[in-house]
Chains A and B, each alone.
Chain A
């Protein structure tokens, strides 16, 4: 097996290293610059385009063509991309020990499980700003959780001045909703602090993940800037979605920031009339999750240590006239990579 590919597969799985593939195999160490790219393809009418093959994509980084390591669509498990462009299942690799750090999951799952579905981190604003609409927002989040695909896992985090981990990643919807309903309202809003900590947790989890923020903004207590947090999301390949209401428009800065950080990370920001009118946003996110493609690759040699622009091309539509691809625009490599 291609050694670099094996490394990539192990990283996707979030396995702690050093790892022994088999007793006789050498010990591999993770090269942390694996890029995880999640994106959607839609046609001229905004309909998702499914069933595309890896060979139909061309990934460029600053114009340099990349070699795709793994490929997955929707909630299906990731597959290794063979030399000929074909796909084959990823051979389970047993980790030598537990994942480093405190991964926010208490799950004891099979290897294949970790690659199926999306790990959805819900970050729910329980600050004073949400006081008036809190119960409706809580209902909305509960609806969102109920509507997730069975394969998806969900963690419920809440924040005001501090973050609270209400429920660790679980596929048990009741457990998630119980955590949600245990939230206490009040205090200042440190949205970006909370988002940063959520991303740090999400980064420790194997597989595909997204963070969904339910907030009306603004932020009154964060020490980190939205774009610092956005950079972390970009580096970790975690799309951010923001679900908000028209009330957020009272603070133009917040709405601009929501849109910017969501779009730059491959997610979206939604502003419905009220918390009760979020059906459209939920549907859009669920469809995004169910119809997205996830590709991983190791960047080719590139002297640019600043922002690297990512381009996803589709061979049936190289000019991008027929289809629209929504992906994060790029990322900044980690020092030393």
Chain B
């Protein structure tokens, strides 16, 4: 066989871009190719010229494989065919192995077996299909129960996701019942059904009545309008006929209770009405639906030994039983089975709350409990729990029943983490000591008593604890700083801790004290301070100096929400950070409230722009620090509005200078261009669209441009020395100011009275409106001093423009508020409620709903602006289906993944690399079916990023020879991780995908994990105290209390990774991600139908639906062509 040099280059040395590799006849074609599509075309043309050239066929197969293009299997088949009987065995084996893997990926069992047999004929001995029966144990654990009528109707009434899988339906229901089915009536009153549960019961009754009416045929049939059946049916449905049978007939409510169930459950009332009007038959299938129930119905018949209730009623009647069902369904299957067999249901039910919150990590392997920390910690766990790991049921029973659940809570927290911190925390003596500190002397109330988990801070603490190079925990500042803090009653309420602190000798003492605080969610300020300052040090070359840490701790209460700004830029010096604190505190001393708000707004607007520029590398190196400091110096603490204008203008000048915007550049255009990414080379159409989006918002908000403001300022200054004023500019600005409307203008007295906040913000807008700029200029034209003083009327506008530009950068996709509420930016309330100072507080959404008919607005600082904007915008999303199950705690964070990062600096290679790794993950799952070594490596990787239940589900799918099901269980970030881990662990695996990944890793520094993390990560402000996009590869967190419900959403980091994979298949330019990711993310959210906040698979399903629709719906859907 003859292989050209060009083909060899493509096949063996996948230089980047691989399709552009050159050399030889084919190489000449490939070198001319500007895209995979062209390379594919070139190879196909070569095939036309030399149809029997195996090398060309191999190149084409490899190319299609690397891009997951349709036709890749056929291409391999052709290549293998061309190799013929004389082909080298190794080449044949490589081709056949890929064909086996692709057959598995495509769920083609016969094809798999065929090519596996051929693989063996070619000398392959390392692949074997597992016994599929070994993967079926989970379904064998299920029995079935019947619910009357169709599932969609039941799902609507029970608020379940319409596309939930049958196996998950009851656990989703159990979750809803345990959370929303009952309310406590106080210590003596027991539990009372909620309206939600009453409706579910009413639905079941109606469904039973309908089923009874349907009779043995199980189908409701109405033959004609005037019949007894019609009357009976309408009676059950709660309707009656108005008008006689025929065209005038209308169905109207007669029993609102029943009618409500009819409509809310989605009964086809309109079809029935139409059938009756036209006297046509009506049929509705009421066949009972069988749904799987874990362990069969008998297991759950605890309180119904005589079986008087239906199984579904047994569950609905007992919230603790529901919670146990949910808990066991979440457990790793074999582990749950062991527990179920050995522990009585009644006992388990008593601790269902503990298993629900802290049981997800329970895992038994080879008959022994897998404990956090591995072998070294095992004996200590046995001691702490009081049972041997070789007796799993006893171990888990003691674990869940110890210390009101605190031990299980601790076990769960330590199991979830990975890396050096886990090693440190599970060192046996230390582990026991820290637990003693956590548990304290009084264990009640336990951590599983509230509705949500109460150990948020501990979970963040264990996840984010860092070790220094010496293996000791990183302590921000020095231990002395923390000793002083803990000794201060202002920060620590616990007298015992205060007394002990001065005697601390090392970091362990501090960590133990922090564990002691972590059990509380109201008194653990020092723990939060520790986490915040530790995060601040994480990416810094040099840790913060003790004096800086001390200052940050002292001002934590006032400025904590600003620390994310400081954390995000590790280039900031200690001096800069101290200067920031001083400047922020100084603004609080400005007595004039309006001047204070304008100063804070201008400063935060400038720092907001600085933050964006620093995040995206527009400001680099020392410029990050120096520009930050200059802005602080420039704005300072002005005496009046005129001075503020001059100061803020200087701040803008600092930004312009640092970003190359001097020398006659139009300041507004320059700033906007940088926000839109124009600094970076790219598709002009994409850049123009980004710029237009920002300018549209600036226009909609009626903001005066920086250029106009500064030009007028120049002229006002010039007038002092006899210069002329451009009246057309003044007239234009006067007209623009005249368009500012008062929120109160059209309100009634009642509405005005309902406006209970925002006094300073209103004054801000009113003062802007009342200025008659032209008249002021005319009136003062003879006085240079007064002309100069006119700057004071420009200062509030400059604040609005700076703030508005930051708003525009973070505007969520399809944003309606910024385009409709023209006062949204102006009414940003930096002051807050009367008697408070929100200047540096986290951004909040205020004024939602009727009580403030002037519309919602944002309040506080700009520190959480991206999140607050996403929160404000989320109710404008339009769900694809009628049942809006969009979760308010999840959506803003998902939106953030699309509004904070930018993909200006991403190269096609980087996009292709992350796509390759996800494809590798998918391919490795298929390889794991036939290759035991790979299977072990895949499982080991998943063990580090997933929970035991899901890992076991993946294992089971692999054993069932169904890698597609395994892929669907995993998030794109997990596939990415599997690709990385397994290829690092197994250097011998071969495929064009793996080869190209290895080649890129070896030859291209732009695919270093650090860079990829920056480019394709997601911001995690609650977890890392920073909006810096990152990939952390954490296990999905559970939902917890309050703000920490955001944590679960923050562990979702699949967005950009997945969209990159889609865009690679579509051969899009990387800069197009800036347009498509926000749009696709919005579509994804509109398609989420989750039963519960933790139902993140619903998010995954929606995302994949959107992604596949883009690939299938695009005219470029088969970029490299399909078939052969």
Residues of A at the B interface (CB closer than 8 Å) are 134-136, 138-139, 142-143, 146, 158, 160-166, 174, 177-178, 180-185, 187-190, 193, 196-197, 200, 217-229, 232, 251-254, 256-257, 260, 305-306, 335
Contacts and interface: CB of A to CB of B under 8 A. Distances in A.
Given A219-B850, A227-B746, 20 more contacts: A134-B260, A135-B238, A138-B263, A143-B250, A162-B875, A162-B878, A178-B271, A180-B270, A181-B270, A182-B266, A196-B816, A197-B876, A220-B849, A220-B850, A222-B875, A225-B853, A253-B748, A253-B754, A256-B748, A256-B751
B855 A224 contact: yes
30 contacts: A136-B256, A158-B882, A162-B878, A163-B876, A164-B884, A174-B270, A178-B270, A181-B268, A181-B269, A184-B264, A185-B264, A188-B849, A196-B876, A197-B878, A218-B849, A220-B850, A222-B848, A223-B848, A223-B873, A223-B876, A224-B820, A225-B853, A225-B854, A225-B855, A226-B853, A228-B821, A251-B850, A253-B748, A253-B754, A305-B739
B181 to A, nearest CB: 15
Contact of B879 (A162, A189, A217): A162
B886 interface: yes
B853 A183 contact: no
A330 B683 CA distance: 43
Given A227-B746, A229-B820, A305-B735, A136 B253 contact: yes
Nearest to B754: A253
Contacts of B739: 305-306
A272 to B, nearest CB: 16
Scoring A160, A182, A184, A226 by chain B CB atoms within 10 A of each residue's CB, the highest score goes to A184
Contacts of B817: 223-224
Contacts of A139: 252-253
Interface string B837-862: 00000000100111001111000000
A223 B875 contact: yes
Contacts of A190: 875
A161 B853 contact: no
Scoring A142, A178, A182, A219 by chain B CB atoms within 10 A of each residue's CB, the highest score goes to A182
A92 to B, nearest CB: 30
A221 B886 CA distance: 14
A196 B875 CA distance: 12
The 10 closest A-B pairs by CB, nearest first: A225-B855, A223-B856, A178-B270, A218-B850, A135-B259, A220-B849, A177-B270, A135-B253, A219-B850, A162-B884
Nearest to A229: B820
B293 interface: no
Nearest to B738: A306
B587 interface: no
B361 to A, nearest CB: 34
A180 B845 CA distance: 32
B699 interface: yes
Contacts of A227: 746-747, 853
Contacts of A183: 263, 882
Contact of A182 (B273, B877, B882, B884): B882
B172 to A, nearest CB: 17
Contacts of A223: 817, 821, 845, 848, 855-856, 872-873, 875-876
A177 B251 CA distance: 11
A232 B875 CA distance: 19
Given A161-B884, A256-B748, A222 B263 contact: no
B740 to A, nearest CB: 11
Contact of B875 (A184, A185, A193, A254): A193
B820 A161 contact: no
B273 A177 contact: yes
B856 A224 contact: yes
Contacts of A225: 743, 821, 853-855
Nearest to A166: B882
Contact of B882 (A164, A177, A219, A220): A164
A161 B921 CA distance: 39
Nearest to B747: A227
Nearest to A128: B195
Contacts of B110: none
Interface string B874-915: 011111011110100000000000000000000000000000
B86 to A, nearest CB: 57
A127 to B, nearest CB: 11
Nearest to B817: A223
B750 interface: yes
Q: Indicate the size class of the contact surface on chain B.
A: 35 or more
B881 to A, nearest CB: 8
Contacts of A165: 878
Scoring B266, B735, B754, B884 by chain A CB atoms within 10 A of each residue's CB, the highest score goes to B884
B150 to A, nearest CB: 14
A252 B876 contact: no
A136 B274 CA distance: 19
Scoring B264, B850, B856, B873 by chain A CB atoms within 10 A of each residue's CB, the highest score goes to B850
B884 A187 contact: yes
Contacts of B872: 223
Contacts of A222: 848-849, 855-856, 875
Contacts of B747: 227
Contacts of B883: 184
Contact of B260 (A135, A162, A166, A226): A135
Contacts of A188: 849
Contacts of B537: none
B822 interface: yes
A197 B269 CA distance: 28
Nearest to B876: A193
Contacts of B252: 139
Given A143-B250, A260-B746, A305-B735, A228 B884 contact: no
B156 interface: yes
Contacts of B250: 142-143, 146
A257 B746 CA distance: 10
B489 to A, nearest CB: 42
Nearest to A219: B850
Nearest to B851: A253
A225 B259 CA distance: 34
B156 A184 contact: yes
A166 B875 CA distance: 17
Contact of B822 (A187, A228, A305, A306): A228
Contacts of B855: 222-225, 228
Nearest to B886: A162
B253 A161 contact: no
Nearest to A143: B250
Scoring A220, A227, A256 by chain B CB atoms within 10 A of each residue's CB, the highest score goes to A227
B1102 to A, nearest CB: 15
Given A142-B250, A143-B250, A226-B853, A253 B882 contact: no
Contacts of A134: 260, 263
Contacts of A221: 848-849, 875
Contacts of A182: 266, 882
Contacts of B877: 162
A62 to B, nearest CB: 16
B849 A219 contact: yes
A254 B850 contact: yes
A139 B256 CA distance: 11
A220 B872 CA distance: 13
Contacts of A177: 270, 273
Contacts of B881: 164
Nearest to B265: A184
Interface string B236-257: 0010000000000010110010
A104 to B, nearest CB: 11
Contacts of B260: 134-135, 185
Given A197-B876, A223-B855, A225-B855, A217 B156 contact: no
B253 A184 contact: no
Nearest to B159: A186
A252 B850 CA distance: 11
A146 B820 CA distance: 34
A292 B1024 CA distance: 61
